[in-house]
Amino acid sequence: MAVIDADDLPLFAPSKKVYPQSVAGPYRRAKWIILVLCLGIYYLLPFLRWDRGPNLPDQAVLADLANNRFYFFFIEIWPQEIYYFTGLLIIAALVLFLMNAVAGRVWCGYLCPQTVWTDLFLAVERAFEGDRRERIRRDESPWSLDKAWRKTGKHAVWLVIAWWTGGAWVLYFADAPTLVRELATFTAPVSAYVWIAILTFTTYSLAGIMREQVCTYMCPWPRIQAALTDDDALNVTYRYDRGEPRVSVKQAQRLRAEGVPAGDCIDCNQCVAVCPTGVDIRDGAQVGCIQCGLCIDACNTVMAKIAYPTGLIAYDTDDNVKRRIAGHRPVYRLLRLRTAIYAALILVVGGAMIYQLATRQTAGISVLHERTPLFVKLSDGSIRNSYTIRLLNKRPEERPFALTVSGLPGVRIETIGPQATADLRPVVTVEPDSSREIRALVTVPADVHLEKSQPLTFTASDLFAGEIVRAEDHFIAP
Amino acid sequence: MDGHHDRDNFDSVTGHSTTGHEWDGIRELNTPLPRWWLGVFYATIIWSVGYWVVYPAWPLLTDATRGVIGYATRLSIEQDLATLRDFRAAQSKGLAEASLVQIKADPDLFRVAMAQGKAAFGDNCAACHGVGGAGAKGFPNLNDDDWLWGGSLDTIRTTIQHGIRFAGDADTRVSQMPAFGRDKMLTPGQINDVANHVRAIAGLPTQPRADLAAGGKLFAENCAACHGEAGKGNREMGAPNLTDAITLYGMDVASLTETITNSRNGVMPAWGGRLDPTTVKALTIYVHSLGGGE
The pLDDT value recorded for residue A236 is 93
Complete DSSP assignment for A320-354? HHHHHHTTPPP---SSSHHHHHHHHHHHHHHHHHH
Q: Which of A8, A379, A398, A437 to mutate to test the interface with B (most CBs of B within 10 A)?
A: A379
Distance CA A57, CA A64 (A): 9
Please say whether the beta carbons of B283 and B275 come within 8 A: yes
Which B-chain residues 141-200 have CB contacts (< 8 A) with chain A? Answer: 141, 143-146
Where are chain A's structural domains? 8-360, 363-476
Would the pLDDT of B146 be above 80? yes
Q: What's the rounded mean pLDDT across residues B168-186?
A: 92
A363-476 CATH: 2.60.40.10
Cis, peptide link before residue B34, omega less than 30° from 0: no
Q: From the list B110, B245, B289, which residue is nearest A377 (CB)?
A: B245
Would the pLDDT of B3 be above 80? no
Q: From the list A376, A386, A439, which residue is nearest B141 (CB)?
A: A376
Measured between beta carbons, the chain B residues lying within 8 angstroms of A446 are 245
The pLDDT value recorded for residue A261 is 85
Residue-wise pLDDT for B275-292, tens only, equals: 989 999 999 999 999 888
The pLDDT value recorded for residue A9 is 60
Give how far A464 is from chain B: nearest CA, Å.
Answer: 22
Residue-wise pLDDT for A64-107, tens only, equals: 988 888 998 888 888 888 888 899 999 999 999 999 999 889 99
Residue-wise pLDDT for A227-255, tens only, equals: 888 888 999 999 998 888 888 888 888 98
CA-closest candidate to residue A60, choices A191, A176, A205, A234: A176
Measured between beta carbons, the chain B residues lying within 8 angstroms of A386 are 143, 290-291
Where are chain B's structural domains? 75-171+268-288, 188-262
CA-nearest residue to B136 within chain A is A373
Residue-wise pLDDT for B60-93, tens only, equals: 998 888 888 888 888 889 999 999 888 888 888 8
Distance CA A228, CA A250 (A): 43
Residue A450's alpha-carbon distances to A228, B159, B161, in angstroms, are: 60, 35, 39
Other CB atoms within 10 A of residue B91 CB: 17
The pLDDT value recorded for residue B1 is 41
Q: From the list A381, A441, A446, which residue is nearest B291 (CB)?
A: A441
- Give the A:B interface size as CB pairs under 8 Å: 61
Mean pLDDT of chain B: 90
The pLDDT value recorded for residue B32 is 86
Would the pLDDT of A354 be above 50? yes
Other CB atoms within 10 A of residue B222 CB: 17
Give how far B242 is from chain A: nearest CA, Å.
Answer: 10
pLDDT band per the 50, 70, 90 thresholds, residue A207: very high
Q: From the list A379, A439, A441, which residue is nearest B245 (CB)?
A: A379
pLDDT band per the 50, 70, 90 thresholds, residue B142: very high
Question: Which distant-in-sequence residues (6+ apart) come within 8 Å of A37 by Cβ?
Answer: none
Residue-wise pLDDT for B189-229, tens only, equals: 999 999 999 999 999 999 998 899 999 999 999 999 999 99
Measured between beta carbons, the chain A residues lying within 8 angstroms of B144 are 376-379, 384
Residue B43's alpha-carbon distances to A167, B39, B40, B67, in angstroms, are: 36, 6, 5, 20
Give how far A380 is from chain B: nearest CA, Å.
Answer: 6
Question: Which distant-in-sequence residues (6+ apart) come within 8 Å of B72 by Cβ?
Answer: B56, B66
pLDDT band per the 50, 70, 90 thresholds, residue B127: very high
Half-sphere exposure of A174 (CA within 13 A, CB side): 17
Q: What's the rounded mean pLDDT across residues A28-57?
A: 91
Measured between beta carbons, the chain A residues lying within 8 angstroms of B111 are 417
The listed CATH number (1.10.760.10, 3.80.30.20, 3.40.50.620, 3.20.20.70) that belongs to domain B75-171+268-288? 1.10.760.10
Mean pLDDT of chain A: 90
Q: From the list A370, A379, A416, which residue is nearest B244 (CB)?
A: A379
Mark yes or no for CB contact B143/A371 under 8 Å: no
Q: Which of B102, B290, B294 to mutate to test the interface with A (most CBs of A within 10 A)?
A: B290
CA-nearest residue to B140 within chain A is A376
CA-nearest residue to B112 within chain A is A417
Whether B241 contacts chain A with CB within 8 A: yes
Half-sphere exposure of B240 (CA within 13 A, CB side): 24
The pLDDT value recorded for residue A16 is 81
Give how far A99 is from chain B: nearest CA, Å.
Answer: 47
Mark yes or no for CB contact A378/B245 under 8 Å: yes
Half-sphere exposure of A40 (CA within 13 A, CB side): 6
In words, the CATH class of domain B188-262 is mainly alpha
Would the pLDDT of A35 be above 80? yes
Strands A412-415 and A434-444 turn out to be antiparallel
Residue-wise pLDDT for B10-42, tens only, equals: 888 888 888 888 889 888 888 889 999 999 999
Would the pLDDT of A1 be above 60? no
The pLDDT value recorded for residue A5 is 55
